[in-house]
Amino acid sequence: MYIELLNVDDKMARSFVCAEPVENGSFAKIKGLAKQTKAGVDLSGEVYEVEQLTDDAGELFVVIAPDYHRYDERLLSGDVPQIKAKEVVRGYLLHKGAVIRVQADNIDEVESVNVGDKLFPKAASYKLAKTAGEEKNILGKVIAKEKYCGKDSLVIAFI
């Protein structure tokens, strides 16, 4: 799956781990700090555990975006394979003003989504969905639908 970070605050980058496989560019809810070790090093307090989305008020949400782009500006995007369960991966806390391009597969019922539509976290999934008017969390607004690297994509500004 492709993702492009068009305007994100690097201070919002964090490390995440999920109990199940997730796609690059998918969205998740923070469950809490994870008890995590890697190569015998205790990473507890450094890694957040994430899970499927809910539309509960007051939750923290993230976008999964592996960190290869942080080391080479020529690699701001790319087709990253599925992230394995319990693999530590980089992502970003969703914040006002962030703008990202995600592959359309990360949006539920994307064929009904248009420029100007607002998106909310679709419960029991790792996708955003078009709002219907009764959601508690409106996370972003679609500002473009376009092809990116040959794939249908949406540009989302977070509000």
- What pLDDT digit, counting tens, does each position of 17-56 carry? 999 999 989 999 999 999 877 788 887 788 999 999 999 9
Number of domains present in the structure of the chain: 1
50: tokens are: 């994430």
- Reported as a single tens digit per residue, the pLDDT across 64-89 is 988 665 555 545 555 677 889 998 89
Residue 77, φ and ψ in degrees, nearest 5: -155, 170
Cβ atoms of residues 26 and 100 within 8 Å: no
> What range does the domain containing 121 cover?
3-158
Confidence band, pLDDT 50/70/90 cuts, at residue 93: very high
Four-point Cα dihedral 13, 17, 125, 138, nearest 10: -20
Report the C-alpha gap between 91 and 114 in whole angstroms: 26
What's at 64, amino acid-wise? I
